[in-house]
Structure 1
Amino acid sequence: MADPRFYESAHPLSLTEIETLSGASFEGLAPDGVSVDDVAPITATQAGALSYAERRPPDVQPGAVVLSKPEFAEALRAAGCHVAVTENPRVAFARTAAKIFAEKPLEAGEADIDPSATVHDGTFIAKGARIGAGAILEPNVVIGPGVEIGEGALIRANAVISFATIGARTEIGSCTVIGKTGFAIALGAEQRVKVPHFGRAIIGSDALIGASCSIDRGLFGDTEIGDNCQIDNFCQIAHNVRIGSGTVMAAFAGISGSTTIGRDCLFAGRCATTDNITIGNNVILLADSAAMYDIPDGEKWGGSPAMPARNFLKQITQLRRLSGIKGAQGKKARRD
């Protein structure tokens, strides 16, 4: 269920309404009286929730409503799901899900602000937000509805925080944006459709998020950054990323969606990851690395695509040797 601090339920959708909105078809097998009032990923289906299946789905729960490619429909129905068939389930979901939940509007109203907190001029705090004891909000900060700022937190000027909780004593840098929708675009035949997000961004305690960073909220679940993480300026953390406590990232890191990063890792400048990979604990990525595969605990990797550092450095040495040989031959040819 979407967090009621940040989202409000629009209204349940009948299967007939889902067909109309999504363009998918239940092929005459939609029973009367069934509706959906929630959303869920295909990996965690539940009765009364809308999911979509682009690939062969795992085990599913009876009663779930699934927008599915035709080749998976029979198996899903055999498992007790209500299945609407479409060639593009992601687009069908994007067109439908936003009608189930709506984002709470950014509006003024009663907020819970501790008397010891400091709120500077120009800061906007939306209805339902909570600001902890001793927190400092510098000028022109925007705090969205339901957001929680922990005690002693420092929110620098011009930061924008929505759909998020910020832990105690955490510092958020100037012009950083936390909790916006991720870059999830469904590629339709005629247009690109933005997929609505229903998750949160959870930042732990004693963390540091630098200036001009962007941390997206989750699509279904949460984006999570653990306690005591240190993230430099100009970093991008995509939706559903999970970063373990104590991890440090230098400037210009780019972490793609649904990546899991362990504890106490060290990312040098301009590191990046592809989506849906797992990086273990105590991993070191050298500068300009692009991690495209899972990395075990305790390893040091470098390069693009990244590989164990010893292999990467060996390749660099060999390339330099080859370059030197080629250069010497070129000079000899010109003398001849």
Structure 2
Amino acid sequence: MADPRFYESARPLSIQELETLSGASFEGLAPDGVSAGGVAPLEAMQAGHLSYAERKVETPVAGAIVFTRSEFADDLRASGCIVGVTGNPRAAFARSAGEIYRLKELEAGEAQIDPGARIFPGAFISAGAKIGRDAIIEPNAVIGPGVEIGEGAIIRANAVISCATIGPRTEIGSCTVIGKSGFAVVLGAEQRIKVPHFGRALIGADVSIGASCSIDRGLFGDTRIDDNCQIDNFCQIAHNVQIGSGTVMAAFAGISGSTCIGRNCLFAGRCATTDNITIGNDVVLLADAAAMYDIPDGERWGGSPAMPARNFLRQLTQLRKLSGIKGAQGKKARR
């Protein structure tokens, strides 16, 4: 599952090694010689790959190696999975998966740089990277191994890009970081454990990303920003987020993990979302809105938690009446 441009196989882990690293118990039921040679998400389980399950698995795959809780273990074994029982499957996975794959390190060496590209002094292009025709890489930018920068793209000074592809004519602002590990931390373990990430960040064509933004790579799959999106300064896009073409975000937007945002949306300043929600096409979020629920196509929402704008504005009107503040007079009084 891990893209070999960005990750390299460290070593397969035997069942005994998995038990030692994770603290899970395979109860001696694993066949001799079985090892985990890769990692895979629950929805794309593979034989010989390591996954974890915190819920009932609808389509288990025989030969997959799965950390899970005791209440789900028997069904997985009946389907031919090799099961490690633990009270915290995610923690067990986090302790083990980083030993199977590792992130490629920056390395001086041969990169594929088109003769028409402009590379400024101080920029570092790692071995294995590809820089397209007429691309511009400004001073002190860092381009990691396997990263692809499209034709005519501009990477401003001090930007850092790893585990990513950048589309044609896209501009990445100064001090922006793309492709870093997301903020996935196991709670409830004796120690806080960071979950390793094996995904990518895919940025489309004609995208503008401002200065000092952070766009995380996916946990297993991809974080994706489609063509013609405009992202302002100081925005945070978490792992596995999907943003449709033409969407615009003003400064200080914060998009939580696995949020799916449609096409041609408009996020005003300081908008935020909770994780794992879907925001439809042509949605407008007013300034300071905090989206906590799915939003249908074409709607305009505001407030925290966000609600349809007509309801939000009606509440504001009622609050002004209760407090005795009336429009501009209230503003003047507060000064």
Specify the TM-score bucket, using the shorter chain as the normaliser.
over 0.9
* Deviation of 1:42 (Å): 1.1
CA distance in 1, matches of 2:84, 2:29: 9
* Deviation of 1:69 (Å): 1.1
Residue 30 (structure 2) pairs with residue 21 (structure 1): no
2:333 is aligned to none
Give SS of 1:91's match: helix
* Deviation of 1:189 (Å): 3.3
CA distance in 2, matches of 1:187, 1:94: 12
Matches within 5 A, 1:182-193: 182-193=182-193
1:66 is aligned to 66
Give SS of 2:8's match: strand
Residue 300 (structure 2) pairs with residue 261 (structure 1): no
Is the 1:11–1:37 Cα contact (8 Å) retained in structure 2?
Answer: yes
Structure 1, 99-108 or 212-221: larger mean CA deviation: 99-108
Q: Deviations for 1:62-114, whole angstroms, at most 9, x for unmatched residues?
A: 11110001111111112221110000111110010001101111110100000
Matches within 5 A, 1:1-336: 1-324=1-324
* Deviation of 1:22 (Å): 0.7
**Equivalent AA in structure 2 for residue 84 of structure 1:** G
- Runs of 4+ aligned residues of structure 1 deviating over 6 Å after TM superposition are none
Give SS of 1:318's match: helix
CA distance in 2, matches of 1:116, 1:184: 40
Structure 1, 56-65 or 161-170: larger mean CA deviation: 56-65
Is the 1:44–1:60 Cα contact (8 Å) retained in structure 2?
Answer: no
CA distance in 1, matches of 2:315, 2:197: 42
CA distance in 2, matches of 1:298, 1:123: 43
Give SS of 2:252's match: coil
**Equivalent AA in structure 2 for residue 156 of structure 1:** R
Give SS of 1:95's match: helix
Is the 1:175–1:211 Cα contact (8 Å) retained in structure 2?
Answer: yes
CA distance in 2, matches of 1:66, 1:161: 32
Is the 1:301–1:309 Cα contact (8 Å) retained in structure 2?
Answer: yes
1:328 is aligned to none
**Equivalent AA in structure 1 for residue 214 of structure 2:** S
CA distance in 2, matches of 1:235, 1:279: 18
Q: Deviations for 1:271-292, whole angstroms, at most 9, x for unmatched residues?
A: 0000000101111000000000
Is the 1:116–1:134 Cα contact (8 Å) retained in structure 2?
Answer: yes
1:331 is aligned to none
Is the 1:272–1:290 Cα contact (8 Å) retained in structure 2?
Answer: yes
Structure 1, 311-320 or 219-228: larger mean CA deviation: 311-320
2:332 is aligned to none
* Deviation of 1:57 (Å): 2.7
Structure 2 residue runs without a partner (length 5+)? 326-335
Structure 1, 221-230 or 36-45: larger mean CA deviation: 36-45
Is the 2:105–2:145 Cα contact (8 Å) retained in structure 1?
Answer: yes
CA distance in 2, matches of 1:272, 1:291: 6
- Report the TM-score, using the length of structure 2 for normalisation: 0.95
Is the 1:140–1:157 Cα contact (8 Å) retained in structure 2?
Answer: yes
Structure 1 residue runs without a partner (length 5+)? 326-336
* Deviation of 1:58 (Å): 2.7
- Report the TM-score, using the length of structure 1 for normalisation: 0.95
* Deviation of 1:32 (Å): 1.0
CA distance in 2, matches of 1:301, 1:276: 18
CA distance in 2, matches of 1:65, 1:171: 42
CA distance in 2, matches of 1:79, 1:316: 55
Is the 2:212–2:234 Cα contact (8 Å) retained in structure 1?
Answer: yes
* Deviation of 1:198 (Å): 0.3
Structure 1, 311-320 or 106-115: larger mean CA deviation: 311-320
* Deviation of 1:190 (Å): 2.1
* Deviation of 1:188 (Å): 4.6
